[in-house]
Amino acid sequence: MAKIVVLDGYTENPGDLSWEPLAALGELTVHDRTPADKIVERIGDAEIIFTNKTPISRATLDACPTVKYIGVLATGYNVVDYVAAKEKGIPVTNVPSYGTAAVGQFAIALLLEICHNIGHHSNAVREGRWESNPDWCFWDYPLIELDQKTMGIIGFGRIGQATGRIAKALGMKVIAYDNYPNDSGKEIAEYVDLDTLLSTSDVISLHCPLFPETEGIINKDSIAKMKDGVIILNNSRGPLIVEQDLADALNSGKVYAAGLDVVSTEPIKGDNPLLKAKNCYITPHISWASKESRQRLMDVAVDNLRQYLNGTPVNVVNK
């Protein structure tokens, strides 16, 4: 049986899923995490390797000539030098679409937390503030109703559309900017140009890939075109935002609040300006991580390998 090595399996499966379907396809070794100086050693003479965020470089592939297949336990695959892999005849597969529902839901969760500060008010009750309050209710932040407000979504693929459907169910008007309008998107939103979206949205949610043309798409110039008091959401890719520019806008009040599940460098660095910005809600890149979503990821990753072993590879990103 082929030797299979998972280099960093913990975030995909911290113990609530099973590796057995993968183990049925070969001699499996799973590492929770692999430091850079152990990558070559742990791959050893394995033919099949899986990685989530552990980088697989050309040098690593040169040092591990037995590798025949690389499975990425994610949608993004830039951790692998897929060009070098192609040159060596090694297919690299990814897992598209597994987190659509979870990521769309999480974007709205960020928005609702901004609108209601439920965690804060729950803690305030437990601290005794309701019990000792002279009135029958209190709130520490403005409570925001989303009905009839405009949600602008930049990037209207599967996740953007999932987010748009929920926003529409909340009574929001949904507009979208995307280079490739499609019929399913038109059922949810009105497609507009970017400047129109920036200037008319009450909430702006980012769901576009990170390309050179989208890097820093939220910056001081684009923020200047937005409504005063806009809310910005990003659970797509951190570098879509120029973080100092967003921090400045939050601190000045131009942007009312931001809900972010991603930042430019992850894990976040202590000097990130958003950590000290006003009304900035930051979660540790967990939009994708529901058990249901991770199970789908596992199922597709296993099927990717099974299809490869059967001679019918799918989800190959470096054909």
Q: Dmax of the chain from CA atoms?
A: 73
> What does the pLDDT average to over 178-205?
98
Indicate if 188 and 84 belong to the same structural domain. no
Indicate if 149 and 228 belong to the same structural domain. yes
Single out the catalytic residue among 42, 237, 294, 296: 237
Residue labelled with tokens 């529409």:
168
Three-state SS for the chain is CCEEEECCCCCCCCCCCCCHHHHCCCEEEECCCCCHHHHHHHHCCCCEEEECCCCECHHHHHHCCCCCEEEECCCCCCCECHHHHHHCCCCEECCCCCCHHHHHHHHHHHHHHHHHCHHHHHHHHHCCCCCCCCCCCCCCCCCCCCCCCEEEEECCCHHHHHHHHHHHHCCCEEEEECCCCCHHHHCCCEECCHHHHHHHCCEEEECCCCCCCCCCCECHHHHHCCCCCEEEEECCCHHHECHHHHHHHHHHCCEEEEEECCCCCCCCCCCCHHHHCCCEEECCCCCCCCHHHHHHHHHHHHHHHHHHHCCCCCCECCC
Indicate if 115 and 254 belong to the same structural domain. yes
> What does the pLDDT average to over 129-137?
98
Within a domain: 246: yes
Give the predicted TM-score (pTM) of the model: 0.94
266 in catalytic set = yes
Within a domain: 319: no
Q: What is the pLDDT of residues 85-116, one digit of tens each?
A: 999 999 999 999 999 999 999 999 999 999 99
Closest to 223 (Cα-Cα) out of 245, 203, 201: 245
Q: What is the pLDDT of residues 201-245, one digit of tens each?
A: 999 999 999 999 999 999 999 999 999 999 999 999 999 999 999
Q: What is the pLDDT of residues 241-266, one digit of tens each?
A: 999 999 999 999 999 999 999 999 99
Within a domain: 223: yes
Indicate if 69 and 187 belong to the same structural domain. no
> What does the pLDDT average to over 162-190?
98
Tell me what pLDDT residue 17 has. 98
Indicate if 214 and 104 belong to the same structural domain. yes
Within a domain: 55: yes
285 in catalytic set = yes
Within a domain: 162: yes
Indicate if 127 and 66 belong to the same structural domain. no
At 79, is the pLDDT very low, low, confident or very high (cuts 50, 70, 90)?
very high
**Domain containing residue 265: CATH number:** 3.40.50.720
Tell me what pLDDT residue 98 has. 95
Q: Which domain, by its residues, includes 87? A: 3-98+291-309
| Percent of the chain at pLDDT exceeding 70 | 100
Within a domain: 130: yes
Indicate if 94 and 19 belong to the same structural domain. yes
Within a domain: 212: yes
Indicate if 69 and 17 belong to the same structural domain. yes
Indicate if 190 and 297 belong to the same structural domain. no
Angle at 122 between CA 119 and CA 123, to 5 degrees: 85
Indicate if 53 and 181 belong to the same structural domain. no
Counted domains in the chain: 2
Tell me what pLDDT residue 288 has. 96
Indicate if 235 and 88 belong to the same structural domain. no
Q: What is the pLDDT of residues 273-303, one digit of tens each?
A: 999 999 999 999 999 999 999 999 999 999 9
Within a domain: 317: no
At 133, is the pLDDT very low, low, confident or very high (cuts 50, 70, 90)?
very high
Single out the catalytic residue among 87, 127, 187, 266: 266
Tell me what pLDDT residue 173 has. 98
Single out the catalytic residue among 31, 165, 285, 306: 285
Tell me what pLDDT residue 55 has. 98
Indicate if 49 and 80 belong to the same structural domain. yes
